[in-house]
Amino acid sequence: MMTTLVKPSYGLIELFQLDMVKLRRFLVMIQEDYRSQNPYHNAVHAADVTQAMYCYLQEPKLAQTLTSCDLLLGLLAAATHDLDHPGVNQPFLIKTDHYLAALYKNSSVLENHHWKSAVGLLRESALLSHLPTEDRLSLEERLGSLILATDISRQNDYLSEFRSHLDKEDLCLTNGGHRHFILQMALKCADICNPCRPWKLCQQWSEKVTEEFFHQGDIERKHNLEVTPLCDRQSNSIANIQIGFMSYVVEPLFLEWSRFSDTRLSQTMLGHLSLNKQGWKEGRDKPDATNSRASEEQRTSVAKDSNSRVLPQGSKGS
């Protein structure tokens, strides 16, 4: 995360006159505020989302129009979007009468908590204390609006708005509101881009997130609560969860994103997505196939044939 912010091409540190000691403290606080015992929602996920966001911000349409403030905000939002994630989902917090559910009135409970935690760290670190109060408050508000967009239960609202803009071709990135909307979409993509990474990475992230889901299911079972179907290790499988997630959540989002930003990076991500879905289907149909050498070789050759590329790790995507 540190590298992303100090990249000379952005010069955000000089531009916003950020104090390096405060910045370092702020980044360490972010890392420590993620719970390392969560198999998935930990600081590594935050770093992964920040890396993806960094790549999307460099896509030509964004790079040509985003302001320095947009860039700083996009990276900040990516790094903090899951702060202090408890490793369980919102319905779990509601049914167990968790104080966060009451605090945020059962609405975007986790995302509100991530946002408020981020604001807390920003203020505690005094990273932006030299900026005018008005700018600071507006930045905190926009940060909230970005983080709240990662609430997956509101996915369809964002997706239909995105689709409608693309159909009407009326996105105008000189308009601040439209740029903010694109930042929201970019963050949403970054948050769920695991299935658009090469198979090995996609597979590892899937294992981590399923471990976290099943852990929640185990707690529900232990306390005689209704077991969330997604979290039930007795009736669900990693392959089925992934195939459903890719088909109904990831693919629709990335198809629209590639309409907006039709670049090599977008096409590469869609290519991986399709191969990975096929990989999970093979695994589901033949339980031993997922890890078998034969199927791995097969996938590699398919990847080569389709001229597929690895998602650049911090390099220009198009």
Neighbours of 178 (CB within 10 A): 15
Q: Does 212 bind Zn ion (CB under 5 A)?
A: no
Neighbours of 136 (CB within 10 A): 17
Task: CB nearer to Zn ion: give 23 or 46.
Answer: 46
Residue ranges for the binding site for Zn(2+)?
45, 81-82, 191
Q: Give the number of residues in contact with Zn ion, rule: CB under 5 A.
A: 2
Task: CB nearer to Zn ion: give 188 or 299.
Answer: 188
What whole-number distance in Å separates Cα of residue 304 and Cα of residue 318?
19
**Residue of this chain nearest to Zn ion (CB atom):** 82
Neighbours of 223 (CB within 10 A): 9
Task: CB nearer to Zn ion: give 18 or 77.
Answer: 77
Reduce the DSSP state of residue 105 to 3 states and report it: coil
Reduce the DSSP state of residue 99 to 3 states and report it: helix
Q: Give the binding range for Zn ion (CB under 5 A) out of 75-83, 109-117, 247-255, 293-301.
A: 75-83
Q: Give the binding range for Zn ion (CB under 5 A) out of 81-89, 98-106, 227-235, 269-277.
A: 81-89
Residue ranges for the binding site for AMP?
41-45, 82, 191, 242
Helix (H) or strand (E) holding 144: helix 133-148
What whole-number distance in Å separates Cα of residue 70 and Cα of residue 146?
11
Task: CB nearer to Zn ion: give 152 or 166.
Answer: 152
Secondary structure string (H, E, C) spanning 166-228? HHHCCCCCCCHHHHHHHHHHHHHHHHCCHHHCCHHHHHHHHHHHHHHHHHHHHHHHHCCCCCC
Q: Which residues are tagged catalytic?
A: 41
**Distance in Å, CB of 1 to Zn ion, minimum:** 14
**Distance in Å, CB of 226 to Zn ion, minimum:** 25
Q: Give the binding range for Zn ion (CB under 5 A) out of 60-68, 80-88, 166-174, 284-292.
A: 80-88
Alpha-carbon distances of 82 from 19, 155, 318, rounded to whole Å = 25, 16, 28
**Distance in Å, CB of 36 to Zn ion, minimum:** 15
Q: Does 33 bind Zn ion (CB under 5 A)?
A: no
Q: Does 220 bind Zn ion (CB under 5 A)?
A: no
Task: CB nearer to Zn ion: give 33 or 82.
Answer: 82
Q: Give the binding range for Zn ion (CB under 5 A) out of 50-58, 106-114, 123-131, 187-195.
A: 187-195
- Would you tell me the crossing angle of helices 251-260 and 176-191 to the nearest 10 degrees? 140
- Are 81 and 191 in contact, with CB atoms under 8 Å apart? yes
Q: By 3-state DSSP, what share of the chain in percent is helix, strand and coil, each rounded to 5?
A: 70, 0, 30
Among 59, 70, 82, 212, binds Zn ion (CB under 5 A): 82
Radius of gyration (C-alpha) of the chain in whole angstroms = 20
Residue ranges for the binding site?
41-45, 81-82, 191, 242
Residues 120-179 close enough to bind Zn ion by CB under 5 A: none
Q: Does 59 bind Zn ion (CB under 5 A)?
A: no
Q: Does 191 bind Zn ion (CB under 5 A)?
A: yes
Binding residues for Zn ion, per CB under 5 A? 82, 191
